[in-house]
Amino acid sequence: MTDVVTSPVVDEKPCFGANPQIFKLGLAKQHILAHDIGQGSECRNSSSCRCEGLDLHFWRKICKNCGCRMDEHDVVLPNEFDHAQIVIGRLFGAREHFEKVLTKPGMYKPADDSNSKENSIMSRRSQPTAVYNYKMSSSDSESESGKKGSSNKENVQYAWAPLPDKDLVSRYMKCLPEEERPIVGSKGEQNRKSRLQFQLPLYDCNVEDARFVEEKDVKTLKSFVENVKNNVIGMGRVVEIGMDNESCGENEHDFEKSMTAALKGLKVGETECKDCAKTMKTGEIGVECCHHTTADTYHPNCFRCDTCRQLLVDNIYFFYKNKYFCGRHYADQLYPRCAGCDELIFANEYTFAEDKSWHFDHFACYKCDFKLGGSRYMTRDDNPFCLECYLKHFAKICDTCQHKIGPDEKRLNYNDTHWHAEERCFQCVQCEMNLIGQKFMLKNHKLLCSSQCKANYNSAHPEDQL
């Protein structure tokens, strides 16, 4: 007889004493992975795509849930970081200053070291005066309350303002369309976030953010960024036309500008908008760009990228060939951009397909990421798909045999109905006449060659009348 043995009592004591330092692990400051940023952010196209929240693809800058771009989601950067402040910190020579105070809203003030190379460069073009999370009352901003002198003061907060001058800010914002005014919590703020991500890709201006630059091409990217910092980027200043604003050019250039205005028949203090060519009268609000020896003035709503015609977000411009561009479309004129990962391609060799440029590894199926180099593929909405994924997700169903119509197979279409272009699938249901290239009737998903065949069918199928 086997003895019954009682189960031993579970000993919960550790075999050895735990190091108390182990409990501190994980409490230190955690690094933010690029694909953690914006996770779950609401898609602004949610009414049409029913996105459950941003789930970023591991190398494409798109959401795996809905296929919309990252900049089409309402992404909130961690710790209240502002995308524009990061760009200003990196490209206006103030990265060390800015990335220490990113969580503290306020005006950008360049370092006092007038002998520094960066300040020498910036002195020849417009310097940033941006303010973030700028609060004003309705009495400061008639444009928001619409009631001059109203005793009911309502506070308004701008996610960004061009300078810390309430009167100029109020008048500047009034010049913009309502959907472009970056009032916190409004559609205008969402539009600003989207334009920041689209116009100023961080991976264009920082080696650390460019994930797909090969080691041998890092030097090229660094040279590109250095040239942008030294010669290309600038920020338009909001000014009152004809007033005694800070001079932004050499004396001889100011004289040249005055002579040009006189030749155009403009009165003293007036100027011409470079975009629409309309006269800007004394006292109006304008955006002035002083870049090295060039000075131009725009209406606030005319200061747009020469390529995409979007309003230049936060008045940040990239000056090239005497025109003003957003960061994206300036870079696109110098280097191809991968249609897969959206990063610039600095390598000499890459794939060119469907009128787009791709890193070798990024010309891949839009669904399963199978590399398509040397393989057959299909396109839909300008995106490439392997044949298997195309068949699975997009192939039409034959209305007769109910099988999918492969990408290699011919098909016939009538409104939203599809058939294999074969006699067995496109024939009269009654007499089996081949209807390809012939007149036909379609009743209750049944093909007929004539009214006579329809009558014959109804006689033979009293339970299934057509």
Q: Tell me: the pLDDT tens digits for 404-417?
A: 998 888 999 998 89
* Burial grade of 310 (CB within 10 A; 0-12, 13-18, 19 or more): middle
Answer whether residue 1 shows pLDDT above 50.
Answer: no
Per DSSP, 22 falls in state G
Mean pLDDT of 83-93: 84
The number of CA neighbours under 13 Å toward the Cβ of 402 is 2
Residues with Cβ within 8 Å of 413's Cβ and at least 6 positions away in sequence, in order, are: 396
Instruction: Report the C-alpha gap between 224 and 405 in whole angstroms.
Output: 49
Q: Give the CA distances from residue 227 to residues 134, 236, 322, in Å, rounded to whole numbers and listed in that order.
A: 32, 19, 16
pLDDT at 205: 86
Question: Which of the four pLDDT bands, split at 50, 70 and 90, describes residue 64?
Answer: confident
Answer whether residue 126 shows pLDDT above 70.
Answer: no
pLDDT at 174: 95
pLDDT at 147: 45
Specify the 3-state DSSP secondary structure of 427: strand
Residues with Cβ within 8 Å of 102's Cβ and at least 6 positions away in sequence, in order, are: 79, 80, 81, 82, 85, 86, 89
pLDDT at 184: 93
Specify the 3-state DSSP secondary structure of 44: coil
pLDDT at 325: 98
Answer whether residue 159 shows pLDDT above 50.
Answer: yes
Question: Which of the four pLDDT bands, split at 50, 70 and 90, describes residue 15?
Answer: very low
DSSP bridge pairs for 86: none
Residue type, 70: M
Domains, in order of start, for the chain: 411-460 (2.10.110.10)
Name which of 15-19, 55-59, 376-380, 440-444 the model is least confident about.
Answer: 15-19
* Of residues 293, 324, 289, 294, the one with CA closest to residue 310: 324
Answer whether residue 256 shows pLDDT above 90.
Answer: no
Listed in order, strand segments (DSSP E) in 76-231 are 131-137, 155-161
Contact 305, 329 (CB under 8 A): yes
Mean pLDDT of 329-358: 95
pLDDT at 110: 44
Answer whether residue 262 shows pLDDT above 90.
Answer: no
The number of CA neighbours under 13 Å toward the Cβ of 107 is 12
Per DSSP, 69 falls in state B
Instruction: Report the C-alpha gap between 47 and 324 in whole angstroms.
Output: 34
Contact 45, 51 (CB under 8 A): yes
Instruction: Report the C-alpha gap between 377 and 388 in whole angstroms.
Output: 9
More confident residue, 116 or 37: 37
Q: What is the mean pLDDT of the chain?
A: 81
Answer whether residue 142 shows pLDDT above 60.
Answer: no
SS3 breakdown of the chain: % helix, strand, coil, rounded to 5? 30, 20, 50
Question: Which of the four pLDDT bands, split at 50, 70 and 90, describes residue 19?
Answer: very low
pLDDT at 70: 83
pLDDT at 341: 93
- As given in the structure block, the two tokens for residue 292 are 């090295």
Answer whether residue 117 shows pLDDT above 60.
Answer: no
Question: How do 279-280 and 271-272 pair as beta strands?
Answer: antiparallel
Answer whether residue 123 shows pLDDT above 60.
Answer: no
Residues with Cβ within 8 Å of 159's Cβ and at least 6 positions away in sequence, in order, are: 82, 132, 133, 182, 183, 184, 189, 192
Question: Which of the four pLDDT bands, split at 50, 70 and 90, describes residue 268?
Answer: low
Mean pLDDT of 213-221: 92
pLDDT at 23: 40
Q: Tell me: the pLDDT tens digits for 319-328?
A: 999 999 999 9
Other Cβ atoms closer than 10 A to 257: 15
Give percent above pLDDT 70 in the chain: 75
